[in-house]
Structures are given as C-alpha cells and as structure tokens.
Amino acid sequence: HGLYSIGLCEKYANISASIIDSKYAMPLLKKNIAAAKLGGRIRLITGDVLKHDFRETFDVILLFNVLHEHDEKYNLRLIGRIRGLLGEKGRLIILDNIAEKKPTAFINLVSNTYGLMFYHFLGGQNYRFDQIRGWLSSSGFEKVTRKYLLRTGFSLVTAYR
C-alpha cells in the first residue's frame, strides 16, 4: 500500500501526497512510508473517500486498483465525488485491469481469473473501457484517454476536470 505515492514522491521532490484508506491498510502504509523516509511529505487519512470531509482540493488523484472491487453504482458515486475534490485543472488517473481480450493467452487467463474473484468475493468485476469512460463523462470529466500497459495487462485511464 502507498507504493505509487511513495514512488512519485521519490521521483519528484516538489510534490506531496495524501492517501486515504481503511484502518486495516494503515499499518502497512505507515511501515512503507517510514521505510522510504517520506513521513513529512505523505499524509495518511483513515476513512472513506465518499464520507471524509476534505478541506482542500487536489491537482491529481490516483485511483489505482479500486474500481474492480466495487459495483457500478458505487464506482459512479466515487468518480463523481472525486471530480468534486479536484482543482480547476485537476486530473484523475485510474489504473485498473480493463475487461477485454488481452495480447497473450496467459494474461487473458490471469485477467479472467482475477475478474471472477472480484465478482465472487467483492461484488465487483473488471470493467470495460467504454463503461469507465461513460462513468467519467457522465460525472463531467473531459479528455478521457487510455494507455494500455502491455507487460501488466492493465491500463492507465486519464481524465480531466
């Protein structure tokens, strides 16, 4: 947990990060942030992004490996809430496994297996890009783009407020 924010803070000395996650994730988050010596630049918030009273806006929000854990109704609410937390030129970056035919049989197998597990255990699934783009558009996001990350089978989806 927190590794993407840690990596960005290590690469770019002028940024800071806020991570919101459940109380169950906090021990590992604290351990990872302490090991990276970034406690002064990464703020932890225990809670739910839909319920937390944020008093600031953000330039960029990372929504990494989250959408597949939830149903469509929740994801639409989440994306709408995130749009309201972004500054005027804010950007949302999503990293997730998009439901589609993958370039190799092995990546297809892994992707479909994860999708089945998400559905069975969490009520979520791997969503198609057109579904995610639809949620973003209906929430008022613009300039929705997608970059396929070939080696992982995942995609980065970027949208602007």
| Conformational region of residue 94, where left means phi above 0, alpha means psi within -120 to 50, and beta covers everything else | beta
Q: Name the strand (E) or helix (H) holding 133.
A: helix 129-138
Nearest to 151 by CA among 93, 104, 99, 117: 104
Q: Is 144 helix (H, G, I), strand (E, B) or coil?
A: strand
* pLDDT value of position 116: 66
**pLDDT, position 111:** 64
Angle between helical axes of 26-35 and 3-11 (0-180°, round to 10):
20
Residue 31: pLDDT band (50, 70, 90) is very high
pLDDT > 60? residue 120: no
pLDDT at residue 142 is higher than 90: yes
* pLDDT higher than threshold 70 for residue 9: yes
